[in-house]
Amino acid sequence: MIRVVVADDQPLVRMGLRTLIETEDGVQFAGEAANGREALSLIQSVRPDVVFLDIRMPVLDGLEVLRRVSADPACAGVKIVVLTTFDLDEYVFEALRTGASGFLVKDSDPTDLLRAVHVVADGGSLLSPSVTRRVIDRFASGASARPVPHLDKLTEREREIMRHVASGASNDEIAATLVISPATVRTHVSRAMVKLGARDRAQLVVFAVQSGLT
């Protein structure tokens, strides 16, 4: 059973997500919070599998909640999906760098929201290609490259695939472009993550941007 917490200051958003979650088999609604302080307390006490976290909340903003949860060893198993109105939210890139497993626009299709629960709970990251490209374009253009430890350990093929991952391409899209199998792509992505100490695919994208690979 995947336990999900919703943290958003808008009652209608919380109600909508709760109703959606309660209709999904294998998923349990584990609580809701209307501000950042409530969210942090709830997450630390319940330790859910997945959290839908609004990036802009009163009392304590979502980014600070994310920082504290990521720094808490007791919450190591908690996966956080950032919710944004995407206008374009300048906090999204920082959220990925801080520890978010992905992000979703609040008016996403219900099937995408439910899919996010399963993908993130399974250890994956939710990076919608179209949204990812907008984030990369917005932040890579104004960010100076910074060294990423162990980047020199990557093979040329791993670097190439890492660039494609940072562009928002899926494993199938990368496989088609490079004329290799999706399984081979997954292997290279996994090896790159291990070598760089990336927590997940989302952090791999951050490292690619920071190092100038994009």
Alpha carbons 61 and 52: distance in angstroms, whole number: 13
The domains of the chain are located at 2-138, 145-211
Q: Residue 194: CB partners within 8 Å, gap ≥ 6?
A: none
Burial of 43 per CB tally in 10 Å (0-12, 13-18, 19+): buried
pLDDT digits (tens, 9 = 90+) for 139-189: 555 555 566 778 889 999 999 999 888 877 778 889 999 999 989 998 999
| Alpha carbon of residue 82 to chain centroid | 7
The predicted structure's pLDDT at residue 201: 76
Q: What pLDDT score was predicted for residue 44? A: 96
The 10 Å Cβ neighbour count of residue 167 is: 18
Q: How far apart are the first and last CA of the chain?
A: 38
What is the arithmetic mean of pLDDT over 70-97? 79
Q: Distance (Å, rounded) from C-alpha 51 to C-alpha 126?
A: 13
* 68 pLDDT more than 70: yes
Class of domain 2-138: alpha beta
User: In CATH, what number does 145-211 get?
Assistant: 1.10.10.10
3-state helix, strand, coil split of the chain in percent (to 5) is 55, 15, 35
What predicted TM-score, i.e. pTM, was given to this entire model? 0.72
Give all strands (DSSP E) within the chain, no chain letters: 2-7, 27-33, 50-54, 79-84, 102-105
How confident is the model over 97-137, as pLDDT tens digits? Answer: 788 888 888 888 888 888 889 888 887 766 655 556 666 66
For 81, residues 6+ apart whose C-beta sits below 8 A from its C-beta are: 50, 51, 52, 53, 100, 101, 102, 103, 104, 116, 120, 126
Same fold? 2-138, 145-211: no
Cβ atoms of 40 and 68 within 8 Å: the answer is yes
Dihedral in degrees, nearest 10, Cα atoms 10, 12, 18, 19:
-170
Q: What's the confidence (pLDDT) of residue 143?
A: 54
Q: How far apart are CA 187 and CA 161, in angstroms?
A: 10
Cβ-contact 63, 98 below 8 angstroms: yes
- Report the interhelical angle of 36-46 vs 62-70 (nearest 10°): 30
